[in-house]
Amino acid sequence: MEIIYKLVFDQLRQQTKASENNCCEVALRIDEEVTRICHESRRIQASGEVENWAKTLANHRLKLCFRYYKLGSNRGRIELSSTLSAIVYRYISPSKARSSYQARVTLLEDFLQGFFAEALNAFRREAKLRPDYTPRSRLELAEYMAYAERYAKRRIPLPGHRAQQLIILRAQTFSQKQPSEMSVDMDMAAEGSSASTETDSHSAVLHELRSFMVGQDNAIADIQMYETIIEELIRYLKDRQQEECVQYFVLRLQDLAASEIETVLGLTSRQRDYLQQRFKYHLVRFALSHQWELVHQWLEADLEHNLGLTPYEWQAFMSQLTPQQSQLLKLKQEKAETSDIAKALSLSVAQTEKQWFKLLELAWDIRNRSVS
């Protein structure tokens, strides 16, 4: 689309110091990608607003590209690694043994190194670049890093009307140490982000492959728990008349950009930011109070796992507890009922729950500081 190419090219010339030729090449690649997506998407074709969708997709790619361009090479790599690490951290562990934090970090670095190489090959293939193409300029590097983030977050259709991000599927395969041929076969499933791009000739193969992806007991249990948490969180929000938060959460699950969420909900940037903060408040209450056991089990941070803390972190955590909090933790570990704990501590049930919330919040902060 000529209008998309001009929009992208003008923005690149205005907001970067790249040469005209470099801007032209990147603009052409973004234009071709957006055009292909709009052409292949049945939903976009049926909307009757193909040009508006094309502009939205192009602007989303530009925004992500400019963010990495401003960060530069080193900070951009750190930001990208941090973003992807946050998604797959809990999936990176030996299949039959619980690893320490440092062991996970080492595995995570190995995984990301391979994933970035895969993303570069996918970028070369989809952009029709030569096999040895490597980003050289600051703009080209930003373009690749933006692509790598989007590639990682592609949602791959799975049986039962489910979908999972590509990088999570890759991380699960990496951690479970599947045969190398499985990783090669999975490239078929990564070719596009929607089922509409599949052809009848190989749809049966993909269906069998995806069934295998989620066919193991651990994977099924993980997906079921994930879906349960989503359902419980939505129910929690609805019970508190937070319909706007429900809408925001549903859109976030679809990996929509902030600008797209604003458009769908008819909000200004400030209104969307306020809604996001309100959602985060309720999310924290849900995770640390209302359904703390379910959420912490899913994160492998329940009491059986020392709230997800390493031995060193656990010692630091215990050293910060008051005698009352230590007794509360001990009774929780013994699976005592909240009412019985309240009696033992000479507190009301509400006061006991508040103390437990503070204790979980402390553990949460320690874990987040370690990961960051």
Residue 165 lies in a domain: no
pLDDT at 369: 66
Number of domains within the chain: 1
To which H or E segment does residue 122 belong?
helix 101-126
To which H or E segment does residue 279 belong?
helix 269-285
> Which amino acid type is present at position 152?
A
**Per-10-residue mean pLDDT, the chain, length 372:** 89 91 94 90 85 90 92 86 83 56 72 90 92 90 94 83 84 66 36 37 36 37 62 83 86 74 85 87 76 62 73 84 89 87 90 86 74 44
CA 73 to chain centre: 22
Domain encompassing residue 105: 2-153
Short-list 308, 323, 299, 283, CA closest to 362: 308
C-alpha Rg value of the chain to the nearest Å: 23
The end-to-end CA distance of the chain, in Å, is 42
Residue 233 lies in a domain: no
- Calpha distance 270→280 (Å, rounded): 15
Q: Identify the burial level of 352 via C-beta atoms within 10 angstroms of its C-beta, where 0-12 means exposed, 13-18 middle and 19 or more buried.
A: buried
101-109, long-range: CB < 8 A, 24+ apart: 101/310, 101/313, 101/370, 102/310, 107/174, 107/175
pTM for this prediction: 0.49
Residue 220 lies in a domain: no
* Residue pair 21/2 in contact by the 8 Å Cβ criterion: no
Residue 200 lies in a domain: no
